[in-house]
Amino acid sequence: MRKFIIFFLLLASNQLQAQTLTSGGKLKPEQAIMDVRHYTIALNVDFNQKSIDGYTVIDVIMARPTKVLLFDLLDSLNVKQVLVNNKNEPYDYKNNLIRINLNDELPAGKASIKVFYGGKPHVARRPPWDDGFIWSRDSTGHPWMAITAEGTGGKLYFPCKDHPSDEPNEGVDMMITVPKDLVVAGPGLLQKVTKHEATATYHWKTNYTINNYSIIFNAGDYKVVSRPYKTIDGNTVPIQFYVLNVHADKAEHHLDVFEKTIHEQEKYFGEYPWVKEKIGIVETPHLGMEHQTMNAYGNKFRYTKVGGEDYDWLMHHEFGHEWWGNKVTAKDWADYWIHEGICTYGDALYIREFDGEKAYIKYFQNAASHFGNKIPIVMGKDIDEEAAYNGDIYGKGAFFMHTIRYVIGDSVFFPALKKFVTSPQYTYDNFVNTDDVEQFFSRESGRDLKPLFDLYIRSIDKLQVHIKELPGNKYQVQLQNMSIPLPIDVTTDSGTKRMIIDSKGLLVSSKTLPVIDEDTYYIKKVTIE
């Protein structure tokens, strides 16, 4: 349990490590008319110079004719040439934007933009909280590199439309060339490895839609340890662990631990979302990050015990993003909590599954004391990643799901949770926001949950419960800032009973002062008169 609290505290400190550049925000008009369909990224990686060189092809569909195309790319790199439909076009490259000023108007419909570029990409100072390339060496001296880009976005190293509302519907091809003694790990499926005299090119391909901060690669002295996995729906998908050769002896046990995580996540969230590709993890020189079908793992095989068996909290959390963040994706960083909060709630479900309900309750009782509660989890719309990011999107977001479970009951909550994450309306190409989550759970429960969402997600208020002592061992228990009645556990001298309490109040008989919500299902403030 202590590991989880440390995790929450660590995440809460992230807001102090602000990115100088960030992803998302208000969609630029030149990009609003653009639908990205596919990226092709071909790069040579020079470990000595810590540089990259190559090209990216962006296939788009334009909603209407335009004279200008606009793409994001950090201007720490050098753009050499831009082709639009195989024709050279003039461009400006400054302020982290490539503005292509077309000689002739580009008609609506399909277009292909190819950008040749290179240089030294930004280096991460404190990965994964600070984005960039990580140039490192393993304990045997082999070069070892990774990329983190969640806050900054894919523009960290390839030209793209850097907004969460648009992902390449037809996937990505990556051709990454590295020294021949290294192995490249990437998203999707490995198509082929082409050996050259001193280098090797790894071609990775995904046909699924993918967020652009998951379009990254890792390289190192890897051994691939693999085994088949049968999903909850009976499909077979390979688990592949790109582990450093020096740690290969740890891989089989780690996959045993990992399989338990996969089974548990599938129980609550449905079948693994990317069954046509792989379940992948790759050892990294940083702590970890969610990357579709190739999650970064840097927890150094430090296990805790849950249910008396080894458990890796880092691997479990990042893997949960295959559902929350990758399959279910917020269209605006303003709704970031949908990724992190519900994913973190999944961490608590692992404890419930293997340590029991009491341990689950204790988890949230401990977590509740670590919320910052300085700003709302959702602060409006068109928010960039840096503005949206604060520690409460994890812990308080997870706690809110804990509250919703209590309010609507297990028989509704758990089927609804799985229904949301397995519904075509809310997954893959279809993005979501907080209103979608609110309206869905309201429909499934037959209750208007908007007041709860407004209180806990859109404000920093706590549920205010007022207790007024009356003659004859009577107490009036009343909600002061909630327009809907709520179930609340009230403990009196005769025991604990779940009662429905509203703004009018409820009369309770007790020889002792009632205790409100002893097991902590609500973030609350209790006043006594």
- Hey, what are 470's tokens? 């009356």
CA angle 493, 366, 301 (to 5 degrees): 145
What is the helix (H) or strand (E) element at residue 318, kind and residue range? helix 313-320
The CATH fold assigned to 463-528 is Immunoglobulin-like (2.60.40)
Nearest partner of 17 among 122, 128, 96, 123, judged by Cα: 128
Whether the CB-CB separation of 427 and 435 falls below 8 Å is answered with no
Whether the CB-CB separation of 185 and 222 falls below 8 Å is answered with yes
Where in the chain are the domains? Answer: 1-19+223-460, 26-220, 463-528
Whether the CB-CB separation of 218 and 295 falls below 8 Å is answered with no
Nearest partner of 176 among 157, 150, 148, 151, judged by Cα: 157
3-state secondary structure 454-488: HHHCCCCCCEEEEEEEECCCEEEEEECCCCCCEEE
CA 472 from chain centre, in angstroms, equals 54
Q: Could you give the CA distance from residue 325 to residue 421 in angstroms, rounded to a whole number?
A: 11
Q: Could you give the CA distance from residue 147 to residue 115 in angstroms, rounded to a whole number?
A: 21
One digit per residue, pLDDT tens: the chain, 529 residues?
A: 323 333 444 443 333 333 358 999 999 999 999 999 999 999 999 999 999 999 999 999 999 999 999 999 998 899 999 999 999 999 999 999 999 999 999 999 999 999 999 999 999 999 988 899 999 999 999 999 999 999 999 999 999 999 999 999 999 999 999 999 999 999 999 999 999 999 999 999 999 999 999 999 999 999 999 999 999 999 999 999 999 999 999 999 999 999 999 999 999 999 999 999 999 999 999 999 999 999 999 999 999 999 999 999 999 999 999 999 999 999 999 999 999 999 999 999 999 999 999 999 999 999 998 999 999 999 999 999 999 999 999 999 999 999 999 999 999 999 999 999 999 999 999 999 999 999 999 999 999 999 999 999 999 999 999 999 999 999 999 999 999 999 999 999 999 999 999 999 999 999 999 999 999 999 999 999 9
Residue 10: what pLDDT? 41
Nearest partner of 400 among 382, 421, 428, 373, judged by Cα: 373
DSSP codes, 234-302? S-EEEEEEEEEGGGGGGHHHHHHHHHHHHHHHHHHH-S-TTTTS-EEEEE-SSSEE--TTSEEE-STT-
Query: What's the sign of the alpha-carbon dihedral 410, 376, 443, 272?
Result: negative
What is the helix (H) or strand (E) element at residue 361, kind and residue range? helix 357-368
Average pLDDT of every residue of the chain: 95
- Hey, what are 87's tokens? 């024709």
Would you say the CATH fold of 26-220 matches that of 1-19+223-460? no
The CATH superfamily assigned to 1-19+223-460 is: Neutral Protease Domain 2 (1.10.390.10)
Q: Could you give the CA distance from residue 129 to residue 497 in angstroms, rounded to a whole number?
A: 44
Q: What is the pTM of this model?
A: 0.94
Q: Could you give the CA distance from residue 184 to residue 249 in angstroms, rounded to a whole number?
A: 20
CA angle 170, 176, 178 (to 5 degrees): 170
Whether the CB-CB separation of 286 and 296 falls below 8 Å is answered with yes
Domain range 26-220, CATH architecture: Sandwich (2.60)
In the sheet where 506-509 sits, what is the strand order? 506-509, 474-479, 463-470, 524-528
Whose tokens are 């000023």? That residue is 101
Convert 420-438 to b/e letters by CB count within 10 Å (16 or more is b). Answer: bbbeeebbeeebbbbebbb
Residue 500: what pLDDT? 98
CA 372 from chain centre, in angstroms, equals 20
Length of the chain: 529
Q: Could you give the CA distance from residue 205 to residue 153 in angstroms, rounded to a whole number?
A: 19
User: In terms of C-beta distances under 8 Å and separation of at least 24 residues, what long-range contacts does 103-108 make, across chains too?
Assistant: 105/65, 105/66, 105/67, 106/62, 106/65, 106/66, 106/67, 106/69, 107/62, 107/65, 108/62, 108/63, 108/64, 108/65
Residue 21: what pLDDT? 81
Query: What's the sign of the alpha-carbon dihedral 493, 494, 495, 499?
Result: negative
Residue 67: what pLDDT? 98
Count of C-beta atoms within a 10 Å radius of residue 485? 15
- Hey, what are 203's tokens? 């071609």
